[in-house]
Structure 1
């Protein structure tokens, strides 16, 4: 991961902190879905519900920001390679797993299948958004990302509350904000290392989290973006300074293979919940740890197999290797011909 842009340039900053942060964000998504699934069966889950509500305004914007950080490196590639990479690594798993989820839910109507393209009818809407942002980003690669981010945030302020367009515009603002931060890493580092900035960032993040916890609707609303920016400042200061070790290595692994954890986790959670509910154990203390165990454990097993790249059937669940490799070969041949 040494090619990744780094927000922090301090000596103690670890190269893999972006993966660690992404890993934490994905694990928090799993905690959210496990808690929500259990709440549907047994009612409120004290403690877990409050934690999920406090963190709710930050999870998806952080993931979008991290994806945006990698955008400058992506748009520097030739157009054919750029498109092939996004189709292979984003569009393919989105389409495949959307189809799997609809089939598992019994919705095999033409209308349901068509929604995969224009609406994203499952919890994979994050990948759908990312695809749209990547599609927009390449033609606009010469436009300053901060300008696009600001325009998207302004658009989110005037769109109807709670609608898919408002959510998309709000998250697009953080996607392109991440791209701007990657291009101005040293400047961003100098800003967030100032103690007063860090204190204000933490206070703003806590304020927005508490507002959401107490019932104020702050989620994906542009007027509360300052709290999300504050949270980003805190984590971008904190994570590069976390010590290495087994925990960090585990989080980095989750972050590197976040696509596996994201698309796979909910199925095992719902299956396990159905089993314990059928056995009338849904209210037992061990159910939530059990749901988290399968929600993390099943994708972890698949990710370990996928990481070896030795099993074509598993690889095909998460990427189209042939498409990506073909594009790279074409780009390599074109480069050699130019050199010659």
Structure 2
């Protein structure tokens, strides 16, 4: 295995933030668009953008999540679990309770408090709504550390086999693990090559500028023909799309364009945690008032509201200092603090 390049040790890498920004915006676009279309029973022009991004939207997110794993996987278990498990568990439970505060009162009135308790306990084993990504990431991190002693090629082959097996058990943890773990392992294993690819695109952008339209045409054709989800083809399109997003992120970073996309990527977890409420509110307002009637434009407005509102909230919290616990884990919820030494016996 090649040595991890020095670039991987940087705290922030511009093209990574741009790429994460594109991914999180695509994720919010999907939820916003499908939510509107489900509510009105029609599709709009945004539906085609959602379908175009389906083959690579989540694969790239998981690939990017594995990029920096090499620099932390050798940490002792206590520190590793704190940063890669407890960290996400804190946000999962917090935002589960926040989302539940909007969804569960009606359930409590209709079916009683026991139904709410049942929903909460169920959410501990079956990821709740849009929070499934941060539920699954800690599982990926633990699995990677446990599998580190195994030959990497064997882990890659096994993960690829799981993806192509198209497993559907009905349990999100198993199904999404089988479908997504291979991209996380690819990000971890081939990080030096991915960074080298980004550097090459930055130095010689012309091949990427020529290749990206060709990729877009192939991806769109496969989606239109209904073959994008076939075993093998799904992985191929996921990897090609991931490479395309890396290239686009690199080109944006090189040209210093789309600063808002980079900012969204830098704070992707903020958007991911908090977009559900502005999405629901803006959708309700637009559908109830009828200010906008076209499904596509409603979806677009809901998407922008859902994606931008969490960033506004984040900036407000930074300015006022109130509510920092929403996006920053308090020290009280850390397990990597030094243990107290027992006083010597008298």
Please give the TM-score of this superposition, normalised by the length of structure 2.
0.78
State the 1:166 CA deviation.
3.6
Q: Any residues of structure 2 matched to 1:118-267 within 5 Å, and which?
A: 118-161=125-168, 163=170, 164=172, 165-185=174-194, 206-216=217-227, 218=229, 221-243=231-253, 247-267=257-277
Is residue 60–residue 239 contact of structure 2 (8 Å, CA) maintained in 1?
no
Separation in structure 2 between the aligned mates of residue 246 and residue 200 of structure 1, nearest angstrom: 21
State the 1:35 CA deviation.
1.2
Separation in structure 1 between the aligned mates of residue 208 and residue 302 of structure 2, nearest angstrom: 39
Separation in structure 2 between the aligned mates of residue 144 and residue 247 of structure 1, nearest angstrom: 41
Aligned position for 2:112: none
Aligned position for 1:94: 92
Aligned position for 1:296: 307
Q: Any residues of structure 2 matched to 1:321-340 within 5 Å, and which?
A: 321-323=330-332, 327=336, 330=338
Separation in structure 2 between the aligned mates of residue 112 and residue 272 of structure 1, nearest angstrom: 26
Is residue 88–residue 321 contact of structure 1 (8 Å, CA) maintained in 2?
no
Separation in structure 2 between the aligned mates of residue 25 and residue 153 of structure 1, nearest angstrom: 22
Point out the more displaced range, 140-149 or 254-263. Answer: 140-149
Is residue 275–residue 309 contact of structure 2 (8 Å, CA) maintained in 1?
yes
2:128 partner SS = coil
Specify whether residues 74 and 303 from structure 1 end up closer, same or farther in structure 2 by C-alpha distance, changes over 3 A only.
farther
1:76 partner SS = coil
Separation in structure 2 between the aligned mates of residue 228 and residue 166 of structure 1, nearest angstrom: 17
Separation in structure 2 between the aligned mates of residue 252 and residue 58 of structure 1, nearest angstrom: 19
Separation in structure 1 between the aligned mates of residue 161 and residue 47 of structure 2, nearest angstrom: 31
Separation in structure 1 between the aligned mates of residue 156 and residue 270 of structure 2, nearest angstrom: 28
For the aligned residues, what is the CA RMSD? 3.6
Aligned position for 1:26: 24
1:77 partner SS = coil
Point out the more displaced range, 144-153 or 155-164. Answer: 155-164
Is residue 22–residue 255 contact of structure 1 (8 Å, CA) maintained in 2?
yes
State the 1:54 CA deviation.
0.9
Specify whether residues 243 and 199 from structure 1 end up closer, same or farther in structure 2 by C-alpha distance, changes over 3 A only.
closer
State the 1:41 CA deviation.
2.8
CA shift digits 1:34-86 (9 cap, x unpaired): 21122123333432111110111111111100101021122133321111112
Is residue 78–residue 335 contact of structure 2 (8 Å, CA) maintained in 1?
no
Aligned position for 1:65: 63
1:44 partner SS = coil
Is residue 120–residue 128 contact of structure 1 (8 Å, CA) maintained in 2?
yes
State the 1:202 CA deviation.
7.1
Aligned position for 2:111: none
Is residue 168–residue 175 contact of structure 2 (8 Å, CA) maintained in 1?
yes
Aligned position for 1:83: 81
CA shift digits 1:74-107 (9 cap, x unpaired): 2133321111112453111112112222332225
State the 1:282 CA deviation.
5.3
Is residue 145–residue 179 contact of structure 1 (8 Å, CA) maintained in 2?
no
Is residue 57–residue 228 contact of structure 1 (8 Å, CA) maintained in 2?
yes
2:265 partner SS = helix
Aligned position for 2:323: 314
In structure 1, stretches of 5+ residues that fail to align are 7-13, 335-340
Is residue 206–residue 227 contact of structure 1 (8 Å, CA) maintained in 2?
no
1:283 partner SS = coil
Please give the TM-score of this superposition, normalised by the length of structure 1.
0.80
- Give yes or no for the alignment of 1:5 onto 2:3: no
State the 1:140 CA deviation.
2.3
Specify whether residues 199 and 145 from structure 1 end up closer, same or farther in structure 2 by C-alpha distance, changes over 3 A only.
farther
